[in-house]
Amino acid sequence: MGLGEARERVRCDWARDKDEAACKLYEEYHDNEWGEAEHDDKKLFEKLVLEGFQAGLSWITILKKREGFRVAFDGFDPAQVARYDSKKIESLMQNEEIVRNRAKIEAAILNARAFLKIQKEFGSFDKYIWGFVGGKPIINAFESVEDLPASTSLADIIAKDLKKRGFKFVGSTSVYAFMQSVGIVNDHISSCFKRHSALGNHSADFRDFEGSQTISLVSPQKSLKNHESTATNLRMLDFNNQHCGTRDSKVDSKYIKSQGREDFEYKNGALQDEARELPQAVMTEAQVKQSPFLAQKPTPSKVLCAVSGGVDSSVVATLLYRAIGENLIPVFVDTGLLRKGEREAVEKMFKENLKVPLIVCDASKLFLGRLKGVIDPEIKRKIIGETFIEVFEKEAKKHNTKGEIKFLAQGTLYPDVIESVSVKGPSKTIKSHHNVGGLPEWMKFELIEPLRELFKDEVRALGRELGMPESMLMRHPFPGPGLAIRIMGEVNKRDLDLLREADSIFIEELRKQGYYDSVWQAFCVLLNVRSVGVMGDNRTYDNTICVRAVEAIDGMTASFAHLSHSFLESVSNRIINEVEGINRVVYDITSKPPGTIEWE
């Protein structure tokens, strides 16, 4: 056998699978597409959209459904996709030939509109995207898939520019995978026959592209452990065959365990997105100096992290602590709007389970004072958000005597982002989130949100791989504004105490009867509606508690939980008998849409 024949049989390690059909798909994609220079705008749009759908899923799932995607999305014609309306979205949600995820479908529509704007500005998306490398591909020289980077400074630059132009699901890691798929970067390993066939084959220069630049990369050094995963290329991260048809973006924890922590961190892009926002904390000094984009940037050494005690912010804190250690300043603010025993539970968890030093600020009087007399729910949220940032800035000054802190980290998820922007043209914002949209003008910190493109189930799976306790991972979502948006009307200490007691009873009963883990979220709402009741021989005129429990996949849609009547009766009896001031309990059977999960 000649040397040329031997090379033809050698592929990158990721192009394998135990399943014969999946292996064939991988090989065809590897041999004919991955790393090949693509200049057709429709093909570029297709791969950009599919990279977005792949987030949180396996690439083999996308390859198996690619033909279905092409039919469903009109051949990935951006002009047609840009015109999709709510009726078309509902049709796609019923199409079993694609990944049915509403947020990603809506993101594809937004991306199509942004894509058309770029075509109008540059003449083609091809000129725009290839202009970043002067029309010539980057050909790396990696010895094995373990050496492949999760992202690069160039991918970060492109991702940021795409986001500024309105694109969604374009994190630095996803953009680098896109660059690989369209041949902007050729990351075939040295022994792979595709790398040898590509040497010297550069695309034509784009002489009419103003500001185009040729980027040349040297083989990067391996990333620091737990800062940036280099375990494998995205294409190696695959689900078991039975998950090729799963709906939405669920993650198989068994698969994750079999692949190891670094693989999953890579697949979800959590550490990579965190790393790209903190380049000096996760790149070697030599790499920073080599980058013309980072060399002049002041070196931040500390990150202020907003910790609520919930799954999202706790995962962020754990990721950052493992990445930058003592340079993380995790701050937990007691707003006075927390659930019963929450502060104590969070302090214990961070100390005993996560081994992460936690700074606790008691700002309850400040929050309650500013909420006094406020009834409008949107104003409540904005007051809480602004006060939250203000408290952080004050706390930061205690740890920022030499200007060390430059970043603020938060646990924003993708559903938070979707609900805070207009998705379908003139649609209205559903609600504002105090941890979405950046910081007020007077703030001096740059916002980083490593979980911004992930869903709740993906965050839980990531947290599980980081070794976080199950009791914490499976806690129901809790809103940033806390109990303030579960009290109808003005927020005061008396009503908060009433709500805490009722909510504690409800959660306790859910756990006792085995319902807690089967519902997405459960809580009580104090309606501040009084009615006549009878307690013993006396008539009462007291408050009403609404009990709410919903089932959901990612929080974008939800239906009320069908709890048994006997269970609801026992909850009602306990609340009325044990919480003085409550004489009536009702159950909310509204789904989302048309309602939201929270009442305010």
Annotated binding site: 308-314
The H-or-E segment that residue 525 falls in is: strand 521-526
| Nearest partner of 143 among 261, 34, 230, 214, judged by Cα | 230
Helices (H), 190-298: 193-198, 253-259, 261-268, 270-277, 279-282, 285-290
Half-sphere exposure of 25 (CA within 13 A, CB side): 18
Which residues are annotated as part of the binding site for ATP? 308-314
- Cross-strand partners of 328: 303
Query: CA-CA distance, 174 to 73, in Å (whole number)?
Result: 20
Q: Residue 480: how many CB atoms within 10 A of its CB?
A: 25
Q: How far apart are CA 2 and CA 108, in angstroms?
A: 47
Assess whether 29 carries a catalytic annotation. yes
Q: List, in sequence order, every residue forming a beta bridge with 538; answer none if it has no partner.
A: 535
Q: What is the DSSP letter of 203?
A: P
The CA distance from 43 to 356, in Å, is 46
Contacts of 77 (CB under 8 A, 6+ apart): 42
Catalytic residue among 38, 51, 419, 465: 51
Residue type, 484: A
Which residue among the candidates 14, 26, 34, 59 is catalytic per the annotation?
59
Note whether 26 and 60 are within 8 A (CB): yes
Q: What are the angstrom distances between the C-alpha of 413 and each of 10, 98, 207, 418, 544?
A: 40, 23, 41, 9, 32
51 is catalytic: yes
Q: Which residue intervals of 342-448 are DSSP H helices?
A: 342-349, 364-371, 377-398, 414-419
Tokens encoding 335: 């707003």
DSSP string computed for 460-518:
HHHHHHTT--HHHHTPPP--TTGGGGGBSS---HHHHHHHHHHHHHHHHHHHHTT-GGG
* Active-site residue, 515 included: no
- The residue type at 146: E
Return the amino acid letter for 33.
E
The single-letter DSSP state of residue 184 is S
CA of residue 38 relative to chain centroid, distance:
29
Is 294 in contact with 279 (CB distance < 8 Å)? Answer: yes
Q: Could you give phi then psi for residue 328, rounded to 5 degrees? A: -90, 135
Contact 516, 507 (CB under 8 A): yes
Among candidate residues 29, 34, 176, 321, the one labeled active-site is 29
State how far the Cα of 597 lies from the Cα of 585, in Å rounded to an integer.
18
Nearest to 551 by CA among 457, 419, 460, 421: 457
Classify residue 220 by its DSSP letter: P
Using CA atoms of 465, 466, 467, 471 in order, give the dihedral in degrees to the nearest 10: -80
Task: Write out the two tokens for 526.
Answer: 């104090």
What is the rounded distance in angstroms from the CA atom of residue 495 to the CA atom of residue 375?
14
By annotation, the residues acting in catalysis are 29, 51, 59
